[in-house]
Amino acid sequence: MLIAELLLHRTRAENVVPVYNEFIQKIPDIEALSLKSASEIQKIAGSLGLEWRLKLMIKMAEVIVNRFRGQIPCDLEQLKQLPGVGEYIASAMLIFYCGRLLPLLDTNTVRITGRYFDLEQSDGSRKTKEFQECITYLIDPKEVSESYYALIDLGAMICKPANPECQSCPLREHCNYFNKTNKGC
């Protein structure tokens, strides 16, 4: 999961999937990654660009192996200290790997949250307390990972940036965007 998040950083999911599958097949765990050279990683994942992240992956794996005995920590501050891991990836790990309920805002979830709650969106929305608090109302605390996966899929397939398919949206009944744009329907 940590490798997937690092590969997805600034890269489209459809480009990451084949690289991720090859990566996991050839490098099945953190310890194996910590033993690889940058050129070996480059051969597998270089097609995605952002060469700097490949070097950070190796450093991150070394820290996990040496400092955390090969176990990925379930602590926000410890995760953020790992090379290549910022606030978003640390939060994603705590949600998907450790089962915590935290705000996770990316392009898709910001759009959904903004539309649903009628919040003005900007480049900095993901960092605002308002968006961070509001998104948690869209998440089932008993099904945190599944809720986020559902929102990510919803943003990719239905609540798209242009021409959203509001009539197909499972959130439409309470969505401010739907109610504003579909009056009389």
Check if the beta carbon of residue 106 is closer than 8 Å to that of residue 146.
no
pLDDT at 142: 94
pLDDT tens by residue, 80-135: 999 989 989 999 999 999 989 999 999 999 999 999 999 999 999 999 999 999 99
Check if the beta carbon of residue 166 is closer than 8 Å to that of residue 177.
yes
pLDDT at 165 over 90: yes
pLDDT at 185 over 60: no
Share of the chain above pLDDT 90, in %: 75
Full set of structural domains in the chain with CATH: 2-96 (1.10.340.30), 107-181 (1.10.1670.10)
Overall average pLDDT of the 4-33 stretch: 90
107 contact partners, CB below 8 Å, separation of at least 6: 155
Q: What is the pTM of this model?
A: 0.82
pLDDT tens by residue, 28-49: 999 999 998 888 999 998 888 8
